[in-house]
């Protein structure tokens, strides 16, 4: 094995050059001992840029992180802080495109910081909890520093990595980030019941993390023989698999296995995935590929929105001037739902903001980003029902969306419909 150091003693000054771009995996895949060490050395490092996706740890709040430049691939969770400090250097891109952008250095990665755990083969390591575009970062980087964490789950498929790709090892006993499932609100549970009614038995589902996906997972407990294919999965997926609701028998591809690019959960999910051949970790180039999604039978994608206008345009990125989300994989999966034989795409959202003061169905997006175009939109669900927008003209769309808006806002929306 290559020489090892404690992560808290790793000397970043010896490997970095001015202008380098440093990247690490999203969410639970972040090597927090290394990123904390990077922050602590920031005052002696040359000018470098951090390339960050969705950061869910407190790393970006550490003293010293303000000294770095940032290129952000996401605006959600803790990454909002980086978006603000970088002056808005956010790359609005479909997640399926990120691997190719890294490979061609349109998104440069010079140094990759990763987490790995040993396998039974001393020449092979496992990336454990996060795969999505980590291989592309590793392949593009001049230097790859691996934080060795034996508490991570041993996962396989695209999670396996040859030791030859690693230039430096750093040992850590710091547990990586965990993402606990939030408790869904009563309104989210009501939305989820409508969503579940749209999904037939033997369908394959995609859902991410947050209150709405947890609510949907609970609402699916009466189903049978579902498949699972997703960019990331939460703890809530475990119950569906353990109860035999998710069997993956009828997917058409990847029979018998749940496919994901990341484990966005807690130790409960990590323990479940450890040495579990029913969980297959795959790259984003596979999970989000139109070619892959078109082969899955009855693929039903479930995504959410910050706002949707009366023509069907979806904003899943910003509320006012604040980033709350990202382009991410939404459009990939929205289109995948339509490409799949028997598949559908579902946008599920509560009809109002949590305080009830603002409708999430709006007359227009008023300068807010369009994450998913109205030409791609299919089913929209709130607690008041389902609007099937596929193929509808603009007037019919507005009428259908007003019918599932909160009653307090329907009159105003009806007046605004004339402006579409």
Ordered structural domains, the chain, with CATH: 4-171 (3.40.1080.10), 186-419 (3.40.1080.20)
Distance CA 123, CA 82 (A): 36
- What pLDDT is stored for residue 420 in this prediction? 54
pTM for this entry: 0.95
| Pair type for strands 124-126 and 111-118 | antiparallel
Beta-ladder partners of 263: 233
Asked whether 82 and 91 are in contact (CB, 8 A), the reply is: no
Taking the alpha carbons of 106, 53, 283, 143 in that order, is the dihedral positive or negative? positive
- What pLDDT is stored for residue 2 in this prediction? 52
- What pLDDT is stored for residue 321 in this prediction? 81
Beta-ladder partners of 229: 259
Distance CA 143, CA 137 (A): 10
Distance CA 223, CA 228 (A): 13
Give 199's Cβ-side CA count (13 Å radius): 34
What are the CA-CA distances from residue 181 to residues 212, 238, 254 (Å)?
A: 10, 12, 26
Give the pLDDT means over successive 10-residue stretches in the chain (420 positions): 74 97 97 97 96 94 93 86 76 95 97 97 97 98 96 97 97 91 97 98 94 97 98 97 97 97 98 97 98 98 97 94 87 97 98 96 95 97 98 97 98 84
- What pLDDT is stored for residue 419 in this prediction? 61
Residues in contact with 32: Cβ distance below 8 Å, sequence separation at least 6, in sequence order: 57, 59, 174, 176, 177
Cβ atoms within 10 Å, residue 132: 31
Asked whether 200 and 176 are in contact (CB, 8 A), the reply is: no
| Pair type for strands 49-52 and 21-23 | parallel
- What pLDDT is stored for residue 1 in this prediction? 45
Asked whether 325 and 347 are in contact (CB, 8 A), the reply is: no
- What pLDDT is stored for residue 81 in this prediction? 79
| Pair type for strands 361-362 and 21-23 | unpaired
- What pLDDT is stored for residue 249 in this prediction? 97
- What pLDDT is stored for residue 4 in this prediction? 72
- E strand map for 241-376: 258-260, 279-281, 299-303, 307-309, 314-315, 318-319, 322-323, 344-348, 361-362
- What pLDDT is stored for residue 187 in this prediction? 98
Which helix (H) or strand (E) segment holds residue 52: the answer is: strand 49-52
């Amino acid at each position: 094995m290559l020489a090892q150091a404690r992560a808290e003693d790793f000397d970043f000054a010896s490997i970095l050059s001015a202008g380098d771009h440093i990247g690490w995996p999203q969410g639970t895949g972040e090597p927090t001992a290394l990123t904390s060490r990077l922050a602590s050395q920031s005052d002696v490092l040359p000018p470098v840029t951090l390339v960050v996706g969705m950061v869910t740890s407190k790393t970006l709040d550490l003293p010293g992180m303000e000294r770095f430049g940032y290129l952000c691939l996401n605006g959600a969770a803790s990454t909002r802080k980086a978006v603000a400090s970088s002056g808005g250097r956010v790359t609005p891109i479909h997640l399926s495109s990120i691997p190719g952008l890294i490979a061609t250095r349109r998104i440069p990665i010079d140094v990759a910081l990763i987490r790995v755990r040993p396998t039974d083969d001393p020449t092979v390591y496992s990336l454990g909890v996060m795969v999505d575009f980590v291989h592309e970062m590793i392949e593009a980087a001049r230097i790859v520093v691996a934080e060795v964490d034996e508490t991570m789950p041993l996962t396989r498929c695209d999670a396996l990595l040859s030791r030859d790709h690693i230039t430096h090892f750093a040992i850590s006993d710091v547990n990586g980030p965990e993402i606990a499932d939030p408790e869904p609100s009563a309104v989210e549970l009501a939305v989820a019941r409508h969503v579940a009614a749209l999904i037939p038995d033997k369908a394959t589902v995609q859902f991410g993390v947050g209150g709405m996906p947890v609510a949907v997972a609970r609402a699916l407990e009466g189903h049978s023989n579902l498949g699972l294919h997703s960019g990331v999965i939460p703890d809530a997926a475990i119950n569906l698999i353990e109860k035999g609701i998710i069997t993956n028998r009828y997917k058409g591809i990847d029979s018998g296995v749940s496919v994901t690019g990341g484990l966005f959960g807690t130790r409960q999910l990590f323990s479940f995935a450890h040495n579990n051949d029913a969980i297959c970790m795959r790259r984003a180039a596979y999970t989000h590929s139109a070619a892959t999604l078109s082969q899955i039978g009855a693929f039903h994608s479930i995504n959410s929105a910050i706002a949707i206008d009366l023509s069907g345009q979806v904003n899943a990125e910003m509320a006012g001037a604040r980033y709350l989300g990202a382009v991410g994989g939404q459009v990939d999966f929205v289109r995948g739902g339509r490409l799949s034989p028997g598949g559908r795409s579902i946008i599920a959202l509560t009809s109002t903001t949590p305080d009830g003061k603002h409708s999430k169905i709006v007359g227009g997006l008023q300068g807010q980003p369009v994450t998913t175009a109205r030409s791609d939109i299919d089913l929209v669900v709130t607690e008041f029902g389902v609007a099937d927008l596929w193929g509808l003209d603009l007037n019919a769309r507005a009428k259908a969306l007003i019918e599932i808006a909160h009653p307090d806002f329907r009159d105003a929306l009806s007046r605004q419909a004339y402006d579409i």
